[in-house]
Amino acid sequence: MTEKSDFTTKLIHSGTGQFARKPGLAASVSEALPIYLTSVFTFDDVPAHETIVDAGGYHYTRCGNPNADAVSEILAAADGGEQAIVFSSG
């Protein structure tokens, strides 16, 4: 394998659907990460919300978003770093 194809493969496999599991800590998610066009996530009740927050799941976009986390992981992989920080400019 060439160095270019190794790099491309690394980027393709970064930012996968693992982040889609966190909003509801779901057992089943789509193969491709969906685009979350939301600022908040809904819950059936307060205990459900507390469970997700305690488990590190998503509850409010300013506190974390699956798409931002995926982009962060892809940028870190592209640059060879451990982490990248992404945020809105608005």
Distance between CA atoms of 49 and 59, rounded to whole angstroms?
7
Provide the β-strand partners of residue 40: 60
pLDDT, residue 4, reads 63
Local confidence band at 7 (pLDDT 50, 70, 90 cut-offs): confident
- Answer whether residue 79 shows pLDDT above 80: yes
Q: What is the mean pLDDT of residues 26-38?
A: 69
Determine contact, residues 24/42, Cβ cutoff 8 Å.
no
For residue 45, give both structure tokens: 């009740």
Sign, CA torsion 59/64/68/73: negative
Mean of all residue pLDDT scores within the chain: 77
Question: 13's torsion region: left (phi>0), alpha (psi -120 to 50) or beta?
Answer: alpha
The single-letter DSSP state of residue 70 is H
